[in-house]
Amino acid sequence: MDFFLLGMVSRCSLNTLYRLQQEAGLQPGGIQPTLRRLEDEGLLCRSEEAKRRRRLMKVTDKGARLLEHHWKDCIQDSPDIESILRCATLAILMGDFQYAYQYLLGVADEHERDYDRAKHIASFRSRQSSPLDCYAFMRMQWQVAKRHCAAEVLRQIAKEVQDMKPTHKPTSKEEELKIQRDMPPL
């Protein structure tokens, strides 16, 4: 989440909690601890409260260097689809569409392998007869179906990413200076 937030603030100019919520679907209560930690680590700075309790955010030079040089360190498989989508989006924000495509295909393949293994286990469990075994079988069937569905959707998303043309351009120095001018003193 750290790198994703740094990317959203620096590359998409989502520099308020409101904009992060409205445009990226992130809930302020869920990201506040991460924002505080980024601020404490000197990777992000936030202005004092302005009108409507709005605080503008800006990635510091230290945060920008970390993002630029280490963003791939956060890319990993996760059982959480939202985390997977954030990782792929970060690769796109950093201008590496091919990396996002390969990452999504790799995660889809891993989900498919898990699906194949789980399908075998689920069929074995279906021969059991106790209520607890029945419950375990139903849960396993649900997990199997979710992994299979996730693999299919991730492949579709990967194909869309592969066909994307870069439309996002990193914030120019001129835009960065305008953001700094508009930002109240910290």
pLDDT digits over 53-73, tens only?
778 888 889 998 988 888 888
Length of the chain: 186
Average pLDDT on 179-183 reads 50
Say if residues 43 and 71 touch (Cβ distance below 8 Å). no
pLDDT for residue 97 is more than 70? yes
Q: How high is the pLDDT of residue 184?
A: 46
User: In this model, does residue 186 exceed pLDDT 50?
Assistant: no
**Tens-place pLDDT, residues 111-165:** 788 777 766 665 555 555 677 877 877 787 787 788 888 888 899 999 988 888 7
Q: Among candidates 99, 22, 10, which has minimal Cα distance to 59?
A: 10
Using an 8 Å Cβ cutoff, are 63 and 124 in contact?
A: no
pLDDT of 62: 92
**Ordered alpha helix ranges (H), the chain:** 2-12, 17-24, 28-40, 61-70, 81-93, 97-125, 131-163, 173-182
pLDDT band, residue 1 (cuts 50/70/90):
confident
pLDDT for the residue 122 = 55
Q: At what angle do helices 131-163 and 97-125 cross, to 10 degrees?
A: 160
Q: Which two tokens stand for residue 145?
A: 């179906």
> Does residue 180 surpass a pLDDT of 80?
no
End-to-end CA distance of the chain: 24
CA distances from 77 to 73, 88, 95, 103, 136 (A): 12, 11, 20, 9, 25
Q: How far is the CA of 99 from the CAs of 6, 105, 110, 149, 172, in angstroms?
A: 19, 10, 16, 22, 23
- Mean pLDDT of all residues belonging to the chain: 79
The pLDDT value recorded for residue 54 is 76
* Predicted local distance difference test score (pLDDT) of residue 38: 92
For the full predicted model, state whether its pTM sits above 0.95.
no
Burial of 30 (0-12, 13-18, 19+ CB in 10 A): exposed
**CB 59 within 8 Å of CB 9:** yes
